[in-house]
Structures are given as C-alpha cells and as structure tokens.
Structure 1
Amino acid sequence: TDSTPVKLTWGMYQGETLMSPTRGLFGRTMREELIVPLMNERHLELSNFAARYPTDEDEPPVDESTQAFASLRAYLLLAGDLRDYKSIGSDLEDQGKIQKEDAWLANQLTLWWSGALLVDGESDSYGKMDTMSKEYVKVLRERPELEIELDEKMVEDVRKVLRRSDRTEAALAELIRAAGETDGVKDVTLTTMKLGTNVYKNSGIRVRGAFTRQGWEKYTRAELAKPQGEFVGDEWVLGLTEAEAEARQMEDRLRLRSRYFDQYIKEWDQFVAKIYVDAESDLVGSLKMFQDLARGGTPLRVLLTNVRWHTTLEEEAREPGDVPWYSVDKLPPEVRKQVEAKTAEGAKAFYVNKDVKDYFTPFVGFGVADDDPGNPDDGPPQATGSLQIDAYAEQLNAVRDGLQAAIDDREELGNLAKKIKVATNVVKSQVSEQQEPWRTRFDNILRPPFDAVRGVVEGEGSKGVGGSWCTSVYQPWQEQIARKYPFNPKGYDLPLSDFTAWFGPDQGPVWDFYNNVLAGNIQRNGNSFSIVDKGKAVTVSYNAGLPGFLTEVADGGSVMFPPGSKDPKFEFEVQIDGTPGVSEITLTVDGAKVSYRNGPQIWQAMTWPGTEGDPGASIKAKGQGRNGDVTRSGDWGFWRLLGEATVSGSAGQQVYSIKWDLSDQQVGIITIRLRPKRGETPLFGVPTRGTSKYLGLFANMRVPRSVVSGYSCQSENDGGGGE
C-alpha cells in the first residue's frame, strides 16, 4: 500500500480550520497524523543506516551520513528540546541557540512534508505547511506530552556510526562551491592564461576557482582561518560534551585545511601533467609552431609564471607573536594525535600553504625566479628573468630561423637538420637534469616541437610506424569505436562483442600494435606506460601523449574484465531506499530484478551484463496514484540508466548513493545504494589514478592522431574520438 498517511495532505488546506478548536487539539492531531508517521519513517531510515555500517571499518558515504545526521537531529528535537542534550544557560545568547534549533526543526518538518507530496517550495500550499510546522514546534515546547518516545538504543547505534564518519569531503565540496560563486573567482584554463599560442593543449583540463590565487585571497583563506569555535553548535546530536565537540571541530577544521592544500596541489598537478604539444607535421606548419613558441619571451615562461603566481598562497598578515590556532606547533597534543591517527598510512597529516609552493618550485624554477612581485591588477606578474628557459628559447629561435631559411631555399634543409640536432641535444640535457615527476612533464612540453620538426626533415623513418598506426589502430577506432556508446554518450550502443575485441585481456588492435611495434620503445609497468629514453640512439620520436592513451586503454580493460574473465563483467550489490508515497521500487538489469516494498533493507547481488532477459535496465516506482520509471534498452542500458542519475563520490569508495529525480513523474527522489565487488569500477575508474569524472572512463578516451613525431593520421570526420 501507499506509505503516505492520508492526513499528510493537510498542507493543501487552510491551516486555520485545523487550528481553530484549541492549540492542544491542534498539537495532538498534528502529532498523530503527521509527526508520528514522518518519524516512523525516519526511525526506520536511521535503524537501517546503523545496520549497514556495524563495524569500525565501515564508513558511510558523505551524503548518507549528512542525511542521517539531519534525521537524528530532528528525531532528538521532537523527543525534547535542546536543554535535554546540552547545558544551556539563561542568557540571551543561549536562549537564542534554543530558538535556532527550533527554527531548524520547523523548516525540516516542512521540507519532509512538502517533499512527500511533491509540493513546490514557491507555492501557497508550501507556505501553509511552513506556518503549521512552525506553530506545531511552538505548541510542542508548551506541551511536553507531545514529545515522541526516544529509542535510546537506536540513537546510540546511529551516533556510533556518525562519530566515525569523516565530514572532510563534504566540507571541502561546500568550500569549493562557495569559493566558485565568489565575485572575481573564476576557473583557470590554458586559454585564460593568454599564452599567445594554442600549441599547448591539456585536453580541456581546468583548475576550479577555489584552487586559484583569487579563490584563496577572496574566500578560502578567510574561511579556513576562522576560529573553530565558530563552527561548534550541533555536535550535541552526536552526544558529545562541549569539550569533546570543540576537540572534534578542531580536528575537522584541521583536516579540512590540510585536505584543501592537498587538493590544491593535486588540481594543479593534474593540470600540468596533462599539458602536451600539438605538433605540426609539415615545414610550414612547423614554422608557425616555432614562431608561436618563441614569441614574446616564450609562452612557456608565461605558463610557468602563472603557475608560480597561483601556487604562492600567503596567509593574512598578523601582529608579531600572534600565532594562528591552526599552527601545528600550537595544537593540543591529543588533537594532533587524533588527526595523525586518522590520516591514511604514508600520507601527510598537516598540509600547509607553503607545501603548495614548494611542490611546484622544481617546475616553475625552470623559467621563473623565486620571487613574486605581485600585480596591482589582481593577476600574475609579467614574465621576466634569466634562467634555464633562456637556453631553451635560444634553441627555439635557432630552429625557427632555420625553418624560415629552409622554406625560402630548400638548399638550407641541411643546415636546418644540424640546428635541430644541436637543439635536440640541448633540450634532452635540460630534461635529464629535472627530478621526477617533473622530468616526465618537461619531456612532454620541451621535446615534442623539436622531435616533430626533425621527423618532418628526416621524413621516412617515421612514416612506416606512423602509417601503420593509422591503418591498424586510428582508422579502425574512428570507424568502430569513437561514435558508439560508451565512448560517445549520444551514440548507438557498441556491441559487447566489439568491445571485447578491443578491450579483452591481451587482445585487440591496440595491444597487437603495442606488442609488435611499440614494446621496445614504450615500457609497461602494470597499467602505466612511459617512453624509453635511448639517448642519441633514438631514430623515431614518439608522441608524448601515447603512454597516457595506453594507460587509459589498459585501465578500461582491467576495470571491465575482472581477473579470469574473458567477457566484460561488473558484479555489485544493491540496496534500495524507501521513498515517501511509494509502495514499491524495482531495479531491473537485463531481466534480473530487485524490489523493495518498505520492509527491512538487505543487500542483493546483481551482475552486468545479465542473462535473465532482454538487454536493458530500468528503475520503476509505484504507489497509490503514483507511478514513475526510467528505462534504457540495449547492451549498455544499465550504464545509460546510471548516466541519468546523480552520484557523489570517488574511485575506490565502498558504497555509492545513486539518485534518480522523478519529481516530474510525481514520485520524488529514488535512491539506491550500490556496493561494487571490486575497487576498480566503471563509475569512477581506477582509485590510484586520482580524481575522475563520473562515468568518464570511456567518454573521455581519445585515440592519438599521431603516434610518432612528423606523421599524423588523416580523417574526414573524427567524430570526437581522436586528438
């Protein structure tokens, strides 16, 4: 039956008619017909939450713990007022805390009530619901007999789970959102850096506004420096004393600060790691490329200057002797110990602003002096200085001039070849002097222009390898793969047999070409690849983007083909949440069904692809007068269905909350929990690769047009699958 109590629909009528007899009658009626049914649902939700994460090793996803925290907070406030859970004085400030909690409770009741009926927050009905909720909380405080009965065991079970829940990621997400909405804070891309050339690419990777100098100075610096006491307030929900609450909040704020600087480094590191040179494969194109690279003190110097400026994060100036609360040396020993204990093994417990600058110093030091004059126009300083980059610029200028001479007079090709040889040796020497991981990054940035023009001049050596790549991998990929789902989210389904032919264990055109042609020059370590440095013996220069592509293909295969499986397989368990007003929810994957009818929640195993019915997947919900569904057919129907949902999380997470918004079908939010059997999943990819876009494992995969410098594949229509 429909789980919505009949009188939940009261919000559609005039509140005055319900409240007219007496306030007591109003309170009793609201309690029995609205509050008790609502809290019975929350009691079941909280009990299930505690049961899902029974051991100290079980940590709930952030969105689940946030929802459970709100439900427990409301449950406790309906069983008593704030004074029952924490010491409250009689002064105005403490009385204000009680009023704040009661106002929050009234708002939460309105949200649950209106959500159950899918009432628009701007409608008159919503306003009436809000008025009645506020009035009920007032009556509740006047009449303690209206308080609900407290299930102390359930409360303690939920508190145990919430106390071990790490709220750092949720706080970081909110910090990123708020910083991004601050005036004057924008994302950074290669385009916004105004390098003066489009030779440098990085697959559209951007740095979010929160991790820019403007984001730091205009928002996050002040937010992260606020005394932790400003954030203490609702820890009473966890059953903590005032002292315990302050210690926990200090730990949370310290972890947030450290996590912010850690992510700042990762954000810029990923941005830099993806930079490559889009090299040309003819003399005229090469001349334009070198003209761009040598222009105005070199775009590379501008790039390095931008990175230095954005990674130099200064704290607010303080009076002499004024040590901030977050200074590691000032922390209480027990707090420091707790933070270090909760830090992953091998990770740093306390990242600070200086760590960001120090991390990138080996990179930017190639072309930027170790100072930061600042800029009155709120931007990076002008690129200046005399460093390693000047020797690099000399070689750019020499080859540029040689190219111009060779285009004007083909007799000059010999002189050009000599200049390229000298330049290549100089650049190789510069690259070899760098420390990892910067050696690899500089190799991707510094060498490709010279390797490419050498390939153009020397010609034949690269044509055989490059041409073979085009016919064996690039063209077949474009014809068979690039326009099909999951590589193109809007394309037709790629047959699973074709997917297996490309990504199955130790098979497919990519691995055939690798084993036959590339293995001697591109070394493999697990699923990671790198170009072998053969020094002066090298005769062909390989595209710096090739190792990354091979890694993506290898990751795709290992994710979709578990050890020992010759066919794609994704094994997982699901648990379905109840939804107000819905009596039955069913998830179907290739004929296999899992249903939930508002009873006990259990994990149920499923596998994709399934064998029990036609290919395709759906999520369906039904109740009294309400029916909603999302259905996607075909071999990849399950993944298209997941693509319609919102999912928060990251690679390697134990449990993912997946939500479909069926409000347009008068059903509301449908939530399932998905627990993968393996850490590597198509949801977010491979954990060791860092942040990854949801379902982006294949949608972001691009086959390189060029495998060797000096030769590029041609295609009339790439369909978004090559670069």
Structure 2
Amino acid sequence: MSIKEIGRVFTQRWFLGLVGVAACSIFIWVVGPLITVAGYEPLKSDFQRLVTILVIVFAWALINLTKQHKQKVREDESIQTLLEVDSQSDKEAASEIDVMRDRIEQAIKVVTKTHKGKRSLYDLPWYVLIGPPGTGKTTVLKQSGLEFPLTESLGADSIAGVGGTRHCDWWFANKAVLIDTAGRYTTQDSQEKVDSKAWHGFLGLLKKYRTQRPINGAIVTVSLASVMSQTRTERSLHARSIKSRLQELKNQLGMQFPIYVLLTKMDLVAGFNEFFADLSKEEREELFGFMFPREVDDERGVISLFNKEFHGMLERLDARMLRILETEDDLEKRTLIFEFPKQLRVLQANLDEFLSEIFAQNTFEEPALIRGVFLLSSVQEGIPVDRLMSESTNGLGLGRLPLATNVNSSHSYFVKNLFERVIFKEQLLGTVNRHYQKQSGWMRTGIYVGCAGVLVGASALWFLSYQWNSKLIVDTNSQVNHIEAMIGAESLDFESDVISAVDTLDKIMMLPLGKNSKYGHSDAVKKFGLYQGDKVSQAANNAYSDALSQHFATLLSESLVSEMEANKQHREYLYETLKTYLMLFNPEKYQQEEVIAWFNFYFERQYPGELNKELRERLLVHTKNLLENDEKGFSMDATAISAAREVLTQMSLPERAYQRMKMQFAKSHVPSFRLTDVLGPKGLEQFERASGKPLSQGISGFYTYNGFHSIFQIQINRTVKGLMEENWVYGDDLKAHEIDHDSAIQGVQARYYQDYVNEWKTLIEDIQLKQAPSLALATEQSRVLSGVERPIESLLRAIQKEVGLSKVTLSENQKAATEVAGKVAKVKFSNTADKLDMYLPEENGFNVALPGKEVESHFTEILRLSEQDFDDIQQAMVNLRSYLSDLSSSGNNQKIAYKSILDGTVTQDVAASFARAKDLLPKPFNQWLGELSQESVKFAESGSKDHLNQLWVTNVVRPYQRTIAGRYPFEPNATKEVRLKDFQRFFGYGGTLDSFFQEYLEPFVDTSKSRWRLEKEIGVRPETLAVFQRAKRIRQSFFESDNSLRVEFGMKPVYLDQHITRFVLELGDQDLVYKHGPARSKELRWPSGQDQTRIVFTPPESKREIAHTYEGEWGIFKLLDQSLKARPESRNDNIVMIDLKGNKVQLELIPSSAINPFWSNEMERFRCPQTL
C-alpha cells in the first residue's frame, strides 16, 4: 500500500468515527470512577465501565451497518430505475428488458446448475461482444473453435435466436460465458430511445445479477468492409457510438475491464483469399494482430502504438508475399497477392483515425484498457473491395472494376486460438465493481470494529484476572520455596541410605498446601482466562510427584532390571519379572495388583524380618502412589529387555509355534517322500537331480499328505493356545489386541504352507531327464519312458497325491477321520510335546472341509491332469519311440531323416503329440518334453544336414568350382571368363542352383519377405539362404521367363570431345555412331553373338582411327566396369564415361527394365559355400 493510499484511509469517515469511539472509551475508563450522580457512582466498578464501553462500540458499529444497508438499498433502486419504464412509449424497451431478464436468469440457472453452488457465477469469466450490425459477432463465436458443452441440453449453442442477434445471446463455453449483444444497441440509429433504454436495462441486469464483477472484458467487432467503404464522417459517427457504449459499460458497471478489438471480414479485402490460400489448418488457427502494453508514456495512450504495430505486421506480410509469388504462376492471382499488403497499408490511416477516436486518452474520461487489435475472417462471402484499383479508376473516371465474389467457405482465419490463448488468459485483468468494493470495505470495517470491541472487553477482563492471580502466586510462592528447600536439604539417594530417602518422601507427602488453600473459590472475573489457583494449589503435590518420578521410580525400575540380569537361569522367575517390568510401560497389559504383588515379594526378600516391616509398608505406600501417578518416571532399559527376551525366545508367536511343531514332529511315523519309492528301476536310470543330490533323498513326512492331516492339522490348535498368553511378553511386533487365536493359526498355517510349497517346488525343479548324447541312447530312453513303468505318469500321480491336500470326497469324510485319528494315536511325540499335553486340555473333532487349498493353488497345473491327459502324454512317448526306432534302425538314416522333415513326419506325429503334452504339463515337465522333442529334431536335423551337404557338394559345388569360380565377371580381375552356356546352365531357370533349391529347400523357406528365412529347421544355416537369394536376383537380371539369356538396353550420347568428329561403339553386329549431331538413343542387346566389344574415336582430317577392343562374350560389361572405376557416380546417374588416350565420350545407359545387371555387384559378391 502506498503512502497516498494510507493517507486516504486516515481521512475516511469510518476511521474518524473509530478514533472518536476510542477516545470516548478511554475517557470513560479513566474519568468514569470520578463521576457521581446524587451520591451514586455509576462507573465506579471495572465491570460497569467495560459494559458502557462495549455498548458505545456496538452502537457505533450498528449505525455504520445501517448506513451501509441504506446505501445498498439506494443502489438497488438506481438499478431498478434502469429497468423500469416511465411512459407508455417505452413499452417496446420494457418488452426487450423483460426478454433479457428472462435470458440472464436462464443463463444464471444454467451456470449455477452446471457448476454447483452460487459462487460458480464467478467461476467462469463473462465477456460482452459489442459492435454495429453485420460485423460478424455471432459468426466469430461459431467459428472460434470453443466447445459449447450445453448444446445438447439447450438444443442450440446459445440461449438465443437464429440469424442476426435480436437482443442478447448467451453462449456457454467450457471456459467462459460470452454475451452476444444486438448490433443496434451499439449504433442506436434505428429506434434511438428504445435501443438506448434496452441497452441501459441490459447493463442494469448485469450489475444486479453479477454484482462483484459484472464482466471480465469487452470484445469490440469492427468490419473492415465498413472502414473501407465509409466516409470520414460516417467512420467518426461509427467510432463515437462504440466509444459511448464502452464509456457506458465502465460508468454503469463501475469497473475497468480489458477491451479487444476484432477487425472482421478481412476476406473482403481484395487479394485475401489468394494471399492466404496455402495456409494449413494449424496456420489458419494462429493469431493475426498485436497486443498493446498496459501503459505507455504517451499522452494519447497505448493506441499511439497502433501505427508502429500495424507497420510491423505489414512487413511480415511483405516477407510472406515474396515467398508466395515464387510458387504462384497465375498472373491475376499474382497481382492480387502482390497488392494485398498495399490494400491493408491504404486502410492503416483510416483504422488509426478510427481507433484513436475511440481509445485516445483525454483529461475528462478514464482511459479505456485496450489490450489488442486482431484481424480475422470467420467466413468468406461477399464481393471483395479493391481500394487501390478503386482509387485509380475513380481518378480516371472509369468507375469501379468488379472482383469475383467469394465462394462461401466454412474455413475461418485467425479466429480459433484468439479466445483461449489471449482473451481468457486475462480474465482477472479488470477491476471489480467499485460500489461492491466499497460495500465490502464497510462490511470488513464493521467486522474489524466488532473484533476490536471484543478484544478491548476481553483485555479488561484479563487485566482484572491478572491482578487477582498475581497476588495468589505471591502468597503461595514461599510455600513452594519451602518444599524445594526440603528436597535440596534431604538426600533422596536410595542406594546409599534408603531409610533417609523414605523419610524425605514422607515429609513431602504430608505437606497440606493445596488442600486447605483459602484461594479455593473466586468470582468469574478472577477466573476469567488467567486463573492459576488449580495449578498453584497442586504445587506441593507436584513436588511429591516429582520426587517419586525422578528418584523413587529409579529405585523400582533398577530393582526389576537387576533381578532379570541375576536370574536368567530361572526361566519362570525371569518371565514373571520381565512381565512385571513390561507392564510398567504397557498400559493395555498393566495389572496393578500383579505389579504390587511382585514389589511386595521383592521388598520382603530385600528387607526381611519384623524389624523392617514398617519400612516395607512405607515403601509399598510410596509404590502405590507412584503407580497411581500419570507421570511415573520409569525409564525403559531396552538392553535388559532384549537380553531377557533373547533368553526366553527370539521368535514371533506363529514362528515359535511353527518351529515348535517342526521340532516335535520332525521324527514321526509318517515316512518321507522319495523318488526311489515312486519310480521303477528302469525309470530311475533316466532321471537325475540338477543339484547332484541322490534320488533317494526326498521330502520329510511332515510335508506330505499324511503328515499334513495326521500331524499338522491335529496339533496346530494345541500348540498355538499354549503360546498365546506369552505373546506380548516375548515382544512380538503385533499389538496385543491384534494377536488372536485365528490370526495366530493363520500365521502358522501360512508359514507351513510356504515351506510345504517350497519343499515340493524345490524337489520338482531339481528333477531332470538325463541327456541322451547319441541316437541309440535316445531311442533306449524313449522305450523306457513309453514302457509299462510309465515313469513320468507315475511321478506326476505321486505328486498329485501329495500336493492335493483337500482331495477327500464328502462320502469318505468319516472314513478319513477315522484313519487320521488312528494315525495320530500312533505318533511318538518328543518330551516337549508330552509336557505340552500335560498343561493343555485334549481337543477332539475333525473338520470335514479339509484345508490345503493354499498349497494346491501353487500346483493347479499338476492337479488338473486327468486320465485323458495322462493318455496323451503316454501317446507322445509312444510316438517318439516309434520315430526314433525307425530313424535308428534304417541303414540310410540320413535320407530317412531328411524325408521325415520334408513330408512332415516329425511335425505331424511327434511334434503334434508333444505340443499337446507340453500344453498339459507345467514346468519342468513340459521342459522335459521340449528337450525330448528337441533331441529328436536334433537327430533328424543332423541326418538331414548330412544328406543335403552330400547332394550340395555333388550337384552344386563341383560344377561351380569347374565353370564359375575364379572367372569373370565373378572375379573382376580374372583373365578367364565364364562361358555363357555354363552361366546359363548354372544360374538359369531350372539350372543347377534353381533346381537344387526347388527340389530340396523350397518347402522349408519363406521367400515372401525381403530376406528369406527358414520356416523349419533342416540343418541349413540362415546365411546360406542369401546365396540362393542372390542367385535369384542374378537370374532375374539376365534371363527371360523362357530361360533365354537376354539383356536389352539403350545407349544415348551425352558428350563427345570437340576434337573428335566421330565415335563408334560396336557390339557384335550392332553399333552406336555419334558425330556431334542431335543425340539419339540406340537400342542394343546382349549377348550380341560375337566375342568382342569395340570402341572407335575418329579425329578430324585423320585417316587413323583410335580404337580399343574388349575381348570376350562379357566385353560390354568389362567396358562398363572400367567406366565405373574411373567414375563411381555412374552407379547413380547411369552415365558411362569412356576415356581412351585422352579422348573422352559420355554415354547414358538406359536399361530396359528396373531389374537389370548393370552396375550390380551381385556376381562379384556371389560365392558358393562348401557346406550348407
């Protein structure tokens, strides 16, 4: 707050009144006791003066509140005056006001119902759109890109009519409420009196229904077409009407608000459509205009910056114009694009004059808060106006040349982001209603004054109370000092002299202070807020309590600790001592009788005999008093507690119960589970354990089906109950009320189930099939697995029995209960279990709904196996045995292996049955089948690979080495070249490579991708497929579909040295001749039928030709290779550069097909591997 504003506060009427009330209150408080009326002193007592002051303060506050209410009534009357009609001629205005009142009430209902609560009226900003008719206010809103979520509920985008705005339309967007006013309210040129009255009525409604901040801003729309076509006088009248409406908004609503000027119908400026035709949707949504600063050092205000900002915008348009002209070919459009910035430049002066008349500052009016000017086009319709051409033709007397009419377009330009990015972000920029602010100030002042009055009254009461309590403190202070002196003079060291310390405690305990205090009662004023009697009266008792908690409590706690340390070997006494010690710090478990009984026993041991009887009684009295205190002062020795608990136990209740059961029943009648008891002798030979443990080492009987039902289920309740009472003493983390029987049982069960699952999972995951390194051993293994022993099925059935703990049918419950009870009777318990039975009652009964689902949930895949599933598994083993037997018994097993892969034997028989079995089995059993399947495939692949490699070497490698390897063009520098017949025989359709691929590999290769891949493993490396893929590209480049070797191409001269008169390329009986004339393409073919390719250069007036011959059937390719070495760019542009002894010519190579051998390195990279 500035100094000027602070000074203005001091001159306010309410402040001067407050000063007067304060002065009057001080006068009454100071001079009041001296006033006497007929011997009566009305203001003698403090209470009377305080009441009088409070009456004056509240009366002053009531007067101010009354004035405020009257002012509000007058303001409401002034608003009502705006809404009322005063003559018969105002009926039309009254009708319009009624319509607007209905609409604003409907709008307020929509807002409050949608946003919940009265305050929501100000949650969304409100904006008023003003402007002459036809300036596009409604169209701007429709094209703004704002979301109007109430369209469905209202049946339209706004509470309004359709077409031109008749009165006012309320548009409800997600982020604002926009009020579209009728254009005639701005101009008021048709029915001036009616429009003016309706306009002022609209302002009154805004002020009435949205008092605090009627609007958040105003949006003024101005048509550029009007600015272009109006005369100076018409523009001036236009500007004055807008300025009047803005001033009326500020004056009637009593606030300042931001104003945004929208120059609409920009599409009517000649060249607009052509200039912005290339804009994308996102570019059309950008802003086209400029913002003003809030303040500027210029007497005209911020509007003085218009020309500068507009000029900057025109410069950006000029830069864009140059870019557009580079791509536009149409002369008429180029003209319109070129002149479009000039059209706007012509408008600049009119716009500056127009806006300056509205927003220029003067000394008689508060300046308008104009924030920015934006140009836009909501729709494109009408005939554009060419100001430049109009001025030129008018000057020549030719009249105006018509332009093409705009085609109606739904595109909007520079509209969409205007509201959300600019206008809505400044919704709090305006001020609030000054009248509302003033009323709020009066209300706050009244609240402050009322609080001040209450504070003054309370302060007076507190002062009186303070005086009385100060005297009380002085009177009792001496007695407190006496108590402190006694504590300091008499030692309270119980270790050195117990008797003296007890005598001191007795004296402090007998002090009467507090019980016989004369300050026991007082009136309300003395007790008002500062009464200290209760605290002071307890001083002696507090001293006694302090002596107990600070000194005597140490004796008691140290006694307990020393007893625990000295009696660790006596578990029973240690337990009782620890229990007593813990009770001192555990209110929930605290039993005062047991604590006092322990200390009584301790005092009798420490101070025995009749001589110390009185001492023991006095110690016991002080002990009882200490235990009754709120602050006992015991200090916990965590080390001693930990040591004692460590002696007793270090386990939680469920863990102790579980561990106790494990120890007691580790050796019972229930036998362990061993693989040697499940598998037959042949089956055992096929399995091993990954950990190296022997198969005879199994799982304890405690974690078997019989152990679960005959031991764990029977003994769990008995064991837990025996430990329940010891839980909190042993220091478990659970709170005492949370440790009940059910939770303890659940904890033991969870621990048991966890170990049960871990034991079986560890064993199952540790079992694995032995690897068969050879086909013979694999065949033998398959015979055992598919034989009568059925080892996999036997193992799975045994595991099913042991982990299916709840697998007892209802019809067999009674029988099962009898069997379990019989087994329990035979259990030989340890000595600890026998002792437990001595202290706990026997429990009978059998739970019919056998538990164990927690274990079964981990083995659901094993338990769900049915008889059909076992048959499917066995069938897979039989199929494997049959296949491996056939493979191993055949003399030519390599060919058999290849044929089995080729005709799908493995896939159809073994693989299918194994896939079914693998889907049925969980890990690791499905992995066993996977390993068996992989082994069978591995043996088949190995045989197939050997078979294919033999064929490959015989049919492919040897012909390759004999006719292709080391020869041109496969070896660029080779002196020998591949004969065309050999080339055709090896690479042609149905040739050596193609025949081998189709016969042996094609069924297993996916050639649909750019890179071939094997669909089935046959022992062929993936990189080998690249050889066949490269051979296919060579075949496609050189051979026709009828397997004829034919390459067609064209040659076209591009350049020939000036000193050469003639160049000839001879390819067999074909030749290309060039003599510096027009370049023509010459169609050629290869092979040419002759074994050479010749080039000839003929100098001018010379009979000697310069020639070179490329020998061999591949001569033309040798020529191209030589050109490529000299000019690597030929691979990209197909330009063949020939340089023979300094004579140069350039030819353009024109392949007849995209698939051609030119410039390709496929043959150079081609190598035939020794093995597949």
TM-score (norm 2): 0.23
Structure showing greater Rg: 2
- Richer in helix (by share): 2
